[in-house]
Amino acid sequence: MSRLTFAELLATPGVEEICELRSSFGILAFHGGNLEKTTDDIALIAAERAGASVYVVRQPEPLREHVASSKVDSPLLQAFIDHVHCCVAVHGYGRQGLWTSMLLGGQNRALAERLGGELRDRLPEFLAVDSLDSIPPDLRGMHPANPVNRPRLAGVQLELPPRVRGLTPHAAKWPRVNGRVAPLDAVIDALSAVAASAIT
């Protein structure tokens, strides 16, 4: 857990807070940069491709402050939440036995199933887990103060393991697509497809 509040983190030199308001579908990555690596890139690229709104926080090296999702708030984040109807928050995690599992938590279960289907179509070698009972309780993202659940229709907490983000030795064997490892690019494709087809 972080020794800093979220406001203190945002005030730390080198930390970037990015908010771009476009459609009423939002994508977040507030643990980005050096903390949950590549999550910020996924959110920014998918949002731009789909014309979706985006909120990202990037921590520079060597900073690795993990503020609990339920404690994340700022004026820019509130503007994002007020603007969007639903959202997907992109996170990174690592846990023994779940190295190939992409977890879809959050309160909008219909959206979780939809995104899960897109991920399964594009990444058959990974598992897209959209049943809450199959997700560890601390990774379900169901807290009402979690930013992903604060828009009117709530959203999906997408937890990606290091392997799908290209952060393990497996990445050396995978082809590159658009300069990124193929699984990571497939996640961006899935997320942007869902965002682009959402009602704006």
Q: What is the mean pLDDT of residues 131-150?
A: 97
Q: How confident is the model at residue 95 (pLDDT cuts 50, 70, 90)?
A: very high
pTM of the entire predicted model: 0.96
More confident residue, 136 or 3: 136
Residues 155 and 112: their CA atoms lie apart, in Å, by 8
Each residue's pLDDT tens digit, 17-63: 999 999 999 999 999 999 999 999 999 999 999 999 999 999 999 99
- The pLDDT assigned to 200 comes to 46
Q: What is the DSSP string of 102-116?
A: EEEESS-HHHHHHHH
With a pLDDT cut of 70, the percent of the chain lying above it is: 98
More confident residue, 156 or 180: 156
CA atoms within 13 A on the CB side of 84: 35
Q: How confident is the model at residue 199 (pLDDT cuts 50, 70, 90)?
A: low
Q: What is the CATH number of domain 6-197?
A: 3.40.630.100
